[in-house]
Amino acid sequence: MTQQLSTAAVDPRHHQGVVVRDRHYIDGQWTAPSGQGHIDVIDATTGEVMARVPEGAPEDVDAAVAAAAAAFPAWSALPLEDRAAVCRQIADGLNARGAEIAEFISRELGTPHVLAVAVQTGTPLTTFASMADFGPELSLEEEIGGTTVVKEAIGVVGAMTPWNFPLHQVAAKVAPALLTGCTVVLKPSEVCPMSAFVLAEVIDELGLPPGVFNLVTGYGPVVGEAIAAHPDVDMVSLTGSTRAGRRVGELAAQTVKRVTLELGGKGANVLLDDVDGADLQAAVGGALGNCYFNAGQACAALTRLVVPRSRLADVERLAVAAAESFVPGDPFDPATTVGPLVSDVQRERVREYISKGIEEGAWLLTGGVEPPDGLDQGYFVRPTVFTDVDPRSVIAQEEIFGPVLVIIPYDDEDHAVEIANGTAYGLTSGVWSTDRDRAAAFARRMRTGVVFINGATLNPLAPFGGYKQSGNGRELGRLAIDEFLEVKAVY
């Protein structure tokens, strides 16, 4: 199911000046916004304006929703195999523009370019392709005791996505929505919107029926809230902060529409007491790699390393060595292993958390609030490690969304479970052990939607989502498809 991504050489100076996208995509056309405002997109490495997109308004949402509602009857009536073929064509179209997408994401987000190619661009292709493959396998009708049970597209889907995995999160919503016969109004993050415009251009070139896919850019409190509250939107799917999820849920409840939420996380990575020697070194190195991926800007990041108190000194030594081996820098420099944060706002937020950790009395092993040497320009933060952290402290409870790891010691296995489950979140967790059965048994005690054993990586064909305040519903894989379907019993 994995697509082969184009690996054409990328010149980071390919786009000279400011890239302007001054129209929304509504009803199959590039449409002028109702207002005159625009939003600047900032290069995370230089702090300079790299692009400009429309600042949408509720009137733009109204037009997009009307187009989606009008397109729904015909689109949902198409044979499933035709919609599956569209998902395949979108994957192929994105693949052909993979170099452009990766460059945009490296610039606006700061992801090192090699990772922007492999993950930020490659994973969305897999998602669209997987929906094409799942299409022929779907069973949308069955007989139960003489009653026909039918699964049907839910209707108009309002999709709102974050900036940290801008195209991946879009694909996780748009691909299953289109496959099932839903029509879509997409609001991407205004911070990293450029890959969503590439997707809209790909869809436009395919000639999908007008209104099946619509793109409106703008700010969450304006465009996002208009989508969530709109009476003709049948479902809202949001990936974002827990605070944003609460607000969307409040607005959507007024019209009792379906809501799926993929929200924050504060994942625990638990080292069991049989991990030692080379296994311990691999576990700590893997933990740092997970925490610092995408500069720590990942809800799935395992940012709490929970270790036996008897191993604490060894873990601290290994963690410092691993953290200091990361190379902050320009995303287009092949030597860079951790890029800048996405914005000045995000950098200051992370610095405030680091300061809070010091204030709370946690031991700062490495990193801190000062920028990395030689990187005063751009939104860089030093890879940071705290140790002997109180599990009830702010830096152990709240999502920092930056390259900050906290090490928490535990006394026995029950204590480790208590710490791991002791936050408001329940998205991802991890466990390391030389005994796979023991690790699997421990994983079952962890109250999260995803558990990684011994450094396993995300499977884009498996369901992803969280318990507790990390949200509801699932994305990716076959189970994601059911989120976009209604069930009808015909007697």
Active-site residues, by number, are 262, 299
Cβ proximity of 271 and 280 under 8 Å = yes
How wide is the angle at C-alpha 12 spanned by C-alphas 6 and 18, nearest 5°? Answer: 115
Cβ proximity of 351 and 343 under 8 Å = no
Distance between CA 324 and CA 77 in Å, rounded? 56
Cβ proximity of 168 and 464 under 8 Å = no
Which residue from 316, 245, 250 is spatially nearest to 468, judged by alpha carbons?
Answer: 245
Q: How far is CA 461 from the centre of its chain?
A: 15
Cβ proximity of 179 and 84 under 8 Å = yes
Distance between CA 337 and CA 289 in Å, rounded? 10
Distance between CA 300 and CA 320 in Å, rounded? 22
Query: What string of H, E and C letters represents the secondary structure of the chain?
Result: CCCCCCCCCCCCCCCCCCEECCCEEECCEEECCCCCCEEEEECCCCCCEEEEEECCCHHHHHHHHHHHHHHHHHHHHCCHHHHHHHHHHHHHHHHHCHHHHHHHHHHHHCCCHHHHHHHHHHHHHHHHHHHHHHHHHCCCEEEECCEEEEEEECCEEEEECCCCCHHHHHHHHHHHHHHHCCEEEEECCCCCCHHHHHHHHHHHHHCCCCCCEEECCCCHHHHHHHHHHCCCCCEEEEECCHHHHHHHHHHHHCCCCEEEEECCCCCEEEECCCCCHHHHHHHHHHHHHHHHHHHHCCCCCCCEEEEEHHHHHHHHHHHHHHHHCCCECCCCCCCCCECCCCCHHHHHHHHHHHHHHHHHCCEEEECCCCCCCCCCCCCCCCCEEEECCCCCCHHHHCCCCCCEEEEEEECCHHHHHHHHCCCCEECEEEEECCCHHHHHHHHCCCCCCEEEECCCCCCCCCCECCEECCEECCECHHHHHHCCEEEEEEC
- Which amino acid, residue 326? F
Distance between CA 354 and CA 317 in Å, rounded? 20
